[in-house]
Amino acid sequence: MTRIEKMPKRFCWLRAATLTGLAATVAAVATLMTALAATAPDAPNSVTFTRDVAPIFQKACQTCHHPGTAAPMSLLTFQDVRPWARSIKARVMAREMPPWHLDKSVGIREFKNDISLSDADINTIVRWVDGGTPQGDPKDMPPPLTFRPETDWFIGKPDLTITFDKEMTMYANGPDWWINKYADTGLTEDRWVKAMQIKPSNARIVHHAVTSVIPPAGTDLTDSGFVGGEFEEYAVGKYGTTFPENTGRLLPAGSRIQFDMHYFAIGEEAKDRTTLGIVFYPKGYVPKYKITMVNFRNLPNDDLEIPPNSIVRHDGYFRLPRPARIVSFQPHMHMRGKGMTLEAINLDNSVTTISSTDHFDFNWHIAYVYRDDVAPLLPAGTVLHAIGVHDNTSANRRNPDPSMWAGYGERSVDDMLQLRLAVVYLDDAEYQAQVAERKTKVTQLLTGGNQR
């Protein structure tokens, strides 16, 4: 017996079936079966909102789904949640909500910002909906959470705020609106960034805001760690980035900021002026670990060939010029994007799958941030390989038109294949030291030095 009629979609066309991946999938399914078996004997009615479901929503949904945010509804109380039960079941089973689009069965599993649900949590929600959404005993309801106002600076008071020249006016009804705005930083010297946050003045209409740095032409960026321009990104539920101690990003003197805005209509005309706030390290301070953005694309020259009614794959490669620790992984595609996998082609020609998104969603710009102790640590010469898949069939519900040929372009109806990695380059000594530290930890685990 299984109450899960539809398992989360999975890809089989890549290296998903590497031995580790396969083993993990088997293990995950086994866990799910155990969970089902353990709860199967009595009726599904045993799952109640107040006791079983509300704690999951507090943990995984309410940061975004509370009044005053851009999420379409609040999920605080039974009354809020009840009308959305069917839709919630569908979204959590498809692993579209909470937004986390990784294939959890391959590659690295530990992330600092993982907001995904466990199989057991999904199972609880599904059984609650199938059991007729009983409220349960009000006394079981956990105390309500409180939320910091969206208007706060979560990174502390910024040293510099940058915003575009005027308020934008979004129409009451109509399609989403993508627009690029620009603003000067006014910086007269190079500064190292400790933290950054983007804050819309009207979070209800801002679907996302992505900022990029445009250094003045001719700036010598050798050894600055500055390669790509992407900076901070905003989407509902995201309240800035603070780098670990001794880690930072360069903002070169004279830079301009590009705001790539995505607005949506809410039934009444509304205005917004989005601001980027930055906390700097003290003047003259240079952090030991410099974050570099590596943004590599498919070859050659971004050319994409996405014929009508087809599912196609393209590849991109980047050879690490120096030893590196990869901090985060972020695929970038548009509406026909289906999935992207990152693998390392090692010096001995073996291949390791690092991460894979198997149900990419263009609506969400998610950088998956590896936990420090498992972040990929790779020697110079390793070739990073991005495999991107576009789905130009009608099975892709975001596809604007499966009968159209699509290629590379800036418009969201065109497409892209980019892999954005935050990387810290290391010198040889530092690389050896970090590898040695990992080895010691693994040995301790294997020899039972760390029993848990």
List residues binding ligand HEC (CB under 6 A). Answer: 57, 60-61, 63-65, 70-72, 84, 87-88, 91-92, 97-99, 115, 117, 236-237, 363
Of 188, 234, 235, 239, which Cα lies nearest the Cα of 211?
234
Cβ-contact 261, 206 below 8 angstroms: yes
> Cβ 204 to ligand HEC, closest distance in Å?
11
CB-nearer residue toward ligand HEC: 55 or 379? 55
CB-nearer residue toward ligand HEC: 54 or 426? 54
> Cβ 60 to ligand HEC, closest distance in Å?
4
> Cβ 155 to ligand HEC, closest distance in Å?
18
127 CB burial (10 A radius; 0-12, 13-18, 19+): buried
CA angle 405, 409, 413 (to 5 degrees): 55
> Cβ 57 to ligand HEC, closest distance in Å?
6
CB-nearer residue toward ligand HEC: 13 or 239? 239
CB-nearer residue toward ligand HEC: 121 or 343? 121
CB-nearer residue toward ligand HEC: 363 or 393? 363
Work out the angle between the directed axes of helices 85-93 and 119-130 (0-180°, nearest 10).
150
> Cβ 293 to ligand HEC, closest distance in Å?
22
At residue 122, φ and ψ (nearest 5 deg) are: -60, -45
CB-nearer residue toward ligand HEC: 117 or 424? 117
User: What SS3 state is found at 410?
Assistant: coil
| Cα gap 263→273, rounded to integer Å | 11
Token readout for 355 is: 């991460």
At residue 97, φ and ψ (nearest 5 deg) are: -130, 135
CB-nearer residue toward ligand HEC: 190 or 272? 272
The DSSP code for 450 is S
Query: Is the bond into 44 cis (omega within 30 degrees of 0)?
Result: no
Cα-Cα-Cα-Cα torsion 156, 158, 162, 166, nearest 10 degrees, comes to: 60
Radius of gyration for the chain, computed over Cα atoms and rounded to the nearest angstrom: 23
- Give DSSP secondary structure letters for 264-326: ---SS-EEE--EEEEEEPPTT---SEEEEEEEEE-TTTT---B-TT-EEEEEEEEE-SS-EEE
> Cβ 416 to ligand HEC, closest distance in Å?
19
Token readout for 422 is: 């935050």
CB-nearer residue toward ligand HEC: 289 or 362? 362
> Cβ 85 to ligand HEC, closest distance in Å?
9
CB-nearer residue toward ligand HEC: 69 or 434? 69
> Cβ 86 to ligand HEC, closest distance in Å?
9
> Cβ 27 to ligand HEC, closest distance in Å?
23
